[in-house]
Structure 1
Amino acid sequence: MRLTNYSDYALRSLIYLATKPDPYLLANISDIANSYNISKSHLTKIIHQLGQLGYIDSVRGKNG
């Protein structure tokens, strides 16, 4: 089974967020992008959609 890059990055992001030691600390898109070597602009679109679908809670702005 092959996944699209979009699906692969979405799953990687969810795994990253699920394995954080403290689930109440925020994670930046930069943190996720650097850990998996993913483009930040592409990951921004993915995180935005995951937030709209209700899979994650996202915060806009500098600290989001």
Structure 2
Amino acid sequence: MKKLLLIPFIYMLFMTNAYAYLDPGTGSIIVSAIVAGIATIKHYWVLIKNFFKNKIFKNKKEKK
């Protein structure tokens, strides 16, 4: 396991500069991917929260 983590670390030590150009279209794609990721996480967080909330309230109603 340690060797598996060591290989990428050694590779990063010997990396050179890429001198790559990021145009505005690429920046737009990155921003939209981040926004989509945040929206997806929020959506599923609400679904998971409501699932457990309904489960807890069901248990309380059954006990009464």
Which protein, 1 or 2, shows the higher relative CO under an 8 Å CA cutoff with sep ≥ 6? 1
Q: Same fold judged by TM-score > 0.5?
A: no
Q: Which has the higher helix share?
A: 2
- TM-score of the superposition, structure 1-length normalised? 0.30
Larger Cα-atom Rg = 2
